[in-house]
Amino acid sequence: MIYRLNEPDASAEIFDEEVLAINLSNGHYHSIRGTGVEMWKLLVEGRSEVQVVQAMHHSYADASPTLEADVRTFVAQLVDGGLLVENTNTNAGETSTSDLTLPAISAAYTAPIFESHLDMQDLLLIDPIHDVDVQVGWPLRAVTEERA
């Protein structure tokens, strides 16, 4: 199955070795670290769970026998958190496995780290992040195809 970022209800940014992802509809934010960062990148690029497992096996020579289950659990957490949704775009076919270019990593494989935080929920829901027109700025919202 292929997934995509659940825009506009979710937003994410990669900072060094951590992904910070926010579900804007419920105010939950999430920290993804460790091998989860590589997995996240592959998933939002349109890779399937199978391709993520293959890429991780290529990158980590000592990949755990639980790697496949780790990927399934990680994807389920991302979907349950409202960060990823199934990509139903008919043009979103699986990318060739020959395009998987993660380098070999000498560090030992560890399961991805996915932490959810609710402490900012009230603040994020009171003052949501706004998509604004870059030229005009706030308070005018950006014109999207849906609103055009």
In this structure, what token pair is assigned to residue 10? 């979710």
Question: Which residue do the tokens 């929920």 mark?
Answer: 121
Q: When comparing pLDDT for 71 and 133, which is higher? A: 71
Radius of gyration of the chain (CA): 17
Domain boundaries in the chain? 3-126
Per-residue pLDDT tens over the stretch 32-69:
999 999 999 999 999 999 999 999 988 888 888 899 99
pTM: 0.76
Per-residue pLDDT tens over the stretch 93-138:
555 545 555 666 667 899 999 999 876 655 555 555 555 555 655 5
State the Cα–Cα distance between residues 14 and 2, nearest whole angstrom. 20
Q: When comparing pLDDT for 95 and 16, which is higher? A: 16
Buried residues in 108-125 as b, exposed as e (16+ CB within 10 A): ebebbebeeeeeeeeebe
